[in-house]
Amino acid sequence: MIFEQVANGGCQSYLIGCSEACVGALIDPEVRKIDRYRALAAQHGVRIQYIIDTHTHADHFSASKQLSEILDVPVIAHRLSPAPYVDLRIDEGDVIKVGNIRLTVLHTPGHTRDSMSLVASDRVFTGDALLIGATGRTDLPTGDPEQLYDSLFNKLLKLSPDLRIYPAHVYKGSTCSTIEEELRSNPRLQKRDRGEFVEMMRTLSLSMPEHLTEALRVNMSGGVSVAQLLSEAAAEVPFMSMEEVKSRVEAGANDFIVLDVRERDAFDAAHIPSAKHLPRGQLELRVNEALPDPTLRIVTYCEVGKISTLAAATLRRMGFTRAVALDGGMKAWKEKGYQTEATPQA
């Protein structure tokens, strides 16, 4: 069996593969590790055949939709998953075949309604139902401590004691455990009475994960995150260094336009000398009158360099094929002590 565990902070993804059939499945992939998964699959000589999400993640951005499009393979999730891009909806007792490997589905709700665990011959992928030394939380959307109690005590913990556990999160350093080990030492599993367990889960008062609403929006809809949007735009545009812009402005170069895409107040207070102003929000609608020559070299800038990247990408798409973005923003420009100009008061 081919097996790789890929950590991204505390989030864990897995590549499981069959070396005879040369196929594999990716479990709980995260967007920032897409290249890593593909490299690992290539290194092991396996073709990724399935992308599997154990549940709707609230704390990281699932790479399932993107990988499914890149690799042209189906996304698998529990039938209760709200994600519209799921191709294969599965349920309790279903078996996913990955070459000679069999992954049997256990519906293990509680952390989320659509949580499932995948049981292989010697290991179980528990998603966020059973963690090492902990359990998944039940206070996020569709969480339910009563359901988690049943998923743990009436399903997962009744599996073979020597099964290894591979969860979707690792918080305390150890990356592998067994059912037996968790029964013995996991503090949350010591509350074996349903009422006590539910009460404990209800009173944990954990802090909310970072990017909660954004992760749910992206994972439930298949849309993109702000970071993805920015990195896609950044991949479409070249940048110009602040030193280069400064020297061109000082030399009075007339073969390029410095374009400030911030709001009017910010522009009026301080802008790069000779900059033209066209706020990002009005870019598409006012571009024809503001920038009549599409062959000009245009350098966009904003406060920190993000909006200007989006603006430069938009300009390129509209035919301004020499648009670039400032590598940095007005904030860094000022910090360097470079010259600025205010709009004269009328």
Q: How far apart are CA 93 and CA 339, in angstroms?
A: 68
Using the contact rule CB under 5 A, the part of the chain among 13-21, 128-136, 145-153, 279-287 near Fe ion is 128-136
Q: How far is CA 51 from CA 6, 13, 72, 86, in A?
A: 14, 11, 10, 10
Q: Which residues ranging from 80 to 99 are in contact with Fe ion (CB under 5 A)? A: none
CB of 121 to Fe ion, least distance (A): 25
Of residues 231, 229, 225, 210, the one with CA closest to residue 61: 225
Structure tokens at 204: 């944990």
DSSP string, 4-58: EEEEETTEEEEEEEETTTTEEEEES-BGGGHHHHHHHHHHHT-EEEEEE-SS--S
Closest approach, Cβ 58 to Fe ion, in A, equals: 6
Query: Cα(339)–Cα(270) distance, rounded to whole angstroms?
Result: 9
Does 128 interact with Fe ion (rule: CB under 5 A)? yes
For Fe ion, give the closer residue by CB, 126 or 177.
Answer: 126
Does 182 interact with Fe ion (rule: CB under 5 A)?
A: no
Counting residues that bind Fe ion (by CB under 5 A) gives 1
Name residues contacting Fe ion, limited to 251-310 (CB under 5 A): none
User: What character string, x for contact with Fe ion (CB under 5 A) and - otherwise, covers 137-156?
Assistant: --------------------
Nearer to Fe ion, 12 or 309 (CB): 12
Which window, 15-23, 95-103, 127-135, 261-269, contacts Fe ion (CB under 5 A)? 127-135
- Reading the block at residue 28, the tokens are 């709980």
Q: Tell me the Ramachandran region of residue 226: left when phi exceeds 0, alpha when psi lies from -120 to 50, beta otherwise.
A: alpha
Dihedral pair phi/psi, residue 211, rounded to 5°: 60, 25
Closer Cβ to Fe ion, 138 or 314, answer by number: 138
**Nearest approach, Cβ of residue 137 and Fe ion (Å):** 8
Query: Cβ contacts of residue 342 below 8 Å, gap of 6+?
Result: 268, 269, 270, 271
Cβ-closest position to Fe ion: 128
60 versus 280: smaller Cβ distance to Fe ion: 60
CB of 231 to Fe ion, least distance (A): 24
- What are the residues binding Fe ion (CB under 5 A)? 128
